[in-house]
Amino acid sequence: MPRKQPTARQQRLGRELRRLREAAGLTARQAAGQLGVISVTMSQIESGVAGVSEARIRRMAAQYACEDAELIDALVEMATIRVDGWWEEYRELLPPSFLDLAELEHHASFVQEAGTTHVTGPLQTEDYARAVFAYWRPELPADELEARVAHRMKRKAVLGRNGECPYTAVLHESVLRTRVADRRVACAQLDEILGQSERPGITVRVIPFRVDGFAGASAALLYAGGRVPALDTVQKDTPSGSGFVDAAAQLQSMRTLFRKVESASLEPAPSRDFIHRLAKEL
């Protein structure tokens, strides 16, 4: 039965299969004929509306002359491994993008974030997150506000995977100095960042005001590594909401952007010292 609302991960699988078909120079009708299905079925597979089996993916890869075994195996994993993660409890409570982001982080091989407007989500304290969400206009209903805060706190799971998913956050000094609530919340937030930065697999770097040549004030992004680089994904916030980027040229651009932002930052140890000094000033 066709899915009513495919997840971002399911849609990504469909797009990757379509890209393989297009690279082979086949139309959807031609590929469907070779696969022995009708064109509607091919359309549903490539849009993520219909599931696809391992056998069918491998047949499609053969027909498309794709010899990238690692990519094929990764696509099979995307199609066949279903995880009922903690985010499922928020279905019908929060917008799908919240669930899609949590699922993306769950499957990521690494996560890199640049925070130039707010402290990055997984590093936020509960009070900091509540202040950020409460600032939205129009105001969120109380139950949705608390659901968003709870969801953000559970995203910290990406930080607790014993180093299996390295997490790097690059934070601008302006983010660390901005009081989204009051002094108490600001102090607790800096303490949280320092505590997390001491854990295995977690790196926090700071870009001080004094750094020359940093023009990346709008460079906030989340870069999640896939099982293979072709399946990397970037999440960016826009005025109309958050969205995922996964086209090859866009991914390369985002990799370059993150490297430029990271190159402007202090090393991890000086960054911790910087945050310690800032905490004493508050």
Instruction: Enter the tokens of residue 152.
Output: 């953000």
Q: What's the chain's length in residues?
A: 282
Nearest to 52 by CA among 15, 91, 101: 15
pTM over 0.75: yes
Q: Which domains does the chain have, with CATH numbers?
A: 8-80 (1.10.260.40), 94-281 (3.30.870)
pLDDT recorded at residue 6: 94
pLDDT recorded at residue 3: 85
pLDDT recorded at residue 238: 61
pLDDT recorded at residue 163: 75
Q: Give the three-state DSSP class for 162.
A: coil
**CA–CA dist 119, 150 (Å, integer):** 16
- Average pLDDT in the 170-179 region? 97
Taking only the tens place, the pLDDT of each residue in 200-211 is 999 999 999 999
Q: Indicate whether 179 pLDDT > 80.
A: yes
**CA–CA dist 46, 52 (Å, integer):** 10
- Average pLDDT in the 212-220 region? 85
pLDDT recorded at residue 53: 95
**CA–CA dist 173, 258 (Å, integer):** 17
**CA–CA dist 159, 241 (Å, integer):** 24
* Spacing of C-alpha 228 from chain mean position: 15
Taking only the tens place, the pLDDT of each residue in 3-25 is 888 999 999 999 999 999 999 99
Taking only the tens place, the pLDDT of each residue in 94-128 is 999 999 999 999 999 999 999 999 999 999 999 99
* Beta carbons within 8 Å of 19's beta carbon, 6+ residues apart: none
Question: H helices of the chain, where?
Answer: 8-23, 28-35, 39-46, 54-63, 69-80, 96-107, 126-134, 142-154, 173-177, 183-197, 248-263, 268-281
Q: Give the three-state DSSP class for 254.
A: helix
CB atoms within 10 A of CB 249: 8
Nearest to 246 by CA among 216, 270, 213, 222: 222
- The single-letter code of the amino acid at 151 is H
- Average pLDDT in the 246-275 region? 96
Q: Give the three-state DSSP class for 232.
A: coil
